[in-house]
Structure 1
Amino acid sequence: MDSRHAVEQNDTHAERKYGENSMTARPTRPWADWTHVLKVDPDRELVSDDTFDDLFGCGTDAILLGGTTGVTESKVERILEACAAAEVPVYQEPSNLDNVVDAPRVDGYLVPTVLNAGDPFWLVGAHKESMRRYPDHPWERTTTEAYIVLNPDATVATYTDADCDQTPADVAAYARTAEHLFGQEIVYLEYSGTLGDSAVLEAASDALEDATLFYGGGIGSYESARQMATLADVVVVGDLLHEEGVDAVERTVEGARDGQREND
């Protein structure tokens, strides 16, 4: 997530980006059928010899455009242009108010709300500002993700001043709060940069009834993807794409599929 200075830009840009020609609504809750999501950071390049066509054919259920820092509107648009012919659904996970792109190729928007943020701006402040600045945004295809940030060394933890000292019981309580009090359809355990604690993941999984549990962090192999997919509904793979490439991502797709079958 980017710092809050981004909200200080003027409103004319917002009026230009959103208007009467926004696309109509997509089907609701497609993530309930996902197992694997590939997060593409618009601020990072693919490894040499990889192409976006390779990426689209890796077997992932959806592509999520998002990154913590350095993401700009123009960088997002560049990726969307490359995604024009892709059959896999493409979602955007905005990191600040100035990199949201309303384009026909965007199937939807997954907006983080960081439940354990020490700075309330990342729980509701940025979201209030988005409502003020973008009243004509296609909210009908926008869903919030209940983020629980659990790696204190992650950049997102620093930006949001997240309290990462959470027990499995704490995380389960956050998950129930998201689903039952806030009505959120996605709970996202974010360990960005390290593989998470299975006990924490299991506690969150057991706490949820209908919400979809996303897991992200440290997925770098078939086995780590399989392990986390036995507990989470969806595993999110990001750094691996930019560090090792599409072939490595394909192995995590296989692992996630196998883990999900074990879970069933």
Structure 2
Amino acid sequence: MLLDEIKQWKHVFKLDPDRSLSDDALERICLSGTDAIIVGGSSGVTFDNTVELLGRIRRYALPCVQEISAIDSVVPGFDGYLIPIVLNTRNGDWICGHQQRALKEYGAVIDWSAVLAEGYVILNEESTAARVTEAEASLDEQDLIAYARMADKLFRFPVFYVEYSGIYGDLELVSRAARVLEESRLFYGGGITNAAKARKAAAVADTIVVGNAVYDNLAEALDTVKAAKEDDNKQEGLTL
């Protein structure tokens, strides 16, 4: 089951089907020791570019899941599917509209053991993700803690995903939200460009997601794998 799988993830790479990646770079990513690959993006994701990327990843033995942003880009053959529920959106379509339409068409044939919902909070108001989802990204500590409790206790999402989407976030803020989680697994993504940032993010989050760094500086992105898996991260806590 996908739920059992994600409980083991400390580090994942997120690859965007709409961005170019050489075969050599993809091989280094897939053999890096990362726990999984998430395929997804905020714009430009299609069935064709997703299935092409999946086919390339399938040459390697590691879990690969699709984070679905559009119904027409869903590709069969992934190990699992993550469904974002954007909690801080102004547009209800990103909470239940798109999801209801997808279930209307495909609900009868879905393998629910391979599908998980993510309670998403987007905190970079300049990001494509925030613009596309109409997210209210200017949140204070109490706002984020309330969303964390909503994900964990009200909706009981298996994942609470804090996404800074391209910038390195306020890890002290993220840490305070993490403290109220009891069941949901905390995913953190945003601005993790090197080992030092990965180490600090991994001290706060259960799973860190490294995306843009793959395309900007692959060598440093690969260093984040070992940093995220250092055994003493959680024991040391956050050191800014």
Counterpart residue number, 2:232: 261
1:82 aligns with 2:53: no
Give the partner amino acid of 1:227: K
* TM-score (normalizing by structure 1): 0.85
1:198 aligned residue = 171
Q: Which residue of 2 aligns with 1:238?
A: 211
For 1:163, give the aligned amino acid.
E
CA contact (8 A) 2:94 2:133 kept: yes
> Does structure 2 conserve the Cα–Cα contact (< 8 Å) formed by 1:72 and 1:98?
yes
Tell me the distance in 2 between the aligned counterparts of 1:202 and 1:55. Answer: 28
Deviations 1:150-178 (A, max 9, x none): 01001111111111111112111111111
Output aligned runs, 1:35-74, within 5 Å: 35-46=10-21, 50-74=24-48
Q: Out of 116, 120, 127, which is 1:143 matched to?
A: 116
Displacement of 1:86 after TM fit? Answer: 1.5
DSSP 3-state at the match of 1:157:
helix
| Percentage of matched positions with identical amino acids | 37
The 3 A distance-change label for structure 1 pair 215 and 152 is same
Any unmatched runs of 5+ in structure 1?
A: 1-25
User: How far 1:88 moved relative to its partner?
Assistant: 1.1
Structure 1 residue 107 and structure 2 residue 82: aligned? no
Shift of 1:80: 1.3
- Which gives a bigger RCO, structure 1 or 2 (Cα 8 Å, sep 6+)? 1
- State how many pairs are aligned: 234
CA distance in 1, matches of 2:56, 2:125: 34
Match of 1:167 among 120, 124, 140: 140
Q: CA deviation at 1:196?
A: 0.5
What is the alpha-carbon distance in structure 2 between the residues aligned to residue 203 and residue 167 of structure 1?
11
Per the TM alignment, residue 53 of structure 1 is displaced from its structure 2 partner at its CA by 2.1
Cα distance, 1:52 vs. partner? 2.5
Whole-Å separation in 2 of the counterparts to 1:131 and 1:83: 27
How far the C-alpha of 1:49 sits from its partner, in A, is 6.9
8 Å CA contact 2:45, 2:73 repeated in 1 = yes
Structure 2 gap segments, 5+ residues each: 236-240
CA RMSD of aligned residues (A): 1.4
SS of match in other structure, 2:32: coil
1:98 matched to 2:69: no
- 8 Å CA contact 2:65–2:79 kept in 1: the answer is yes
What residue identity is the alignment partner of 1:42? Answer: P
Shift of residue 92, structure 1, vs aligned partner: 0.2
Q: Distance between the aligned counterparts of 1:39 and 1:52, measured in 2?
A: 12
Per the TM alignment, residue 29 of structure 1 is displaced from its structure 2 partner at its CA by 2.7
**Which residue of structure 1 aligns with residue 159 of structure 2?**
186
1:226 Cα deviation (Å)?
Answer: 0.6
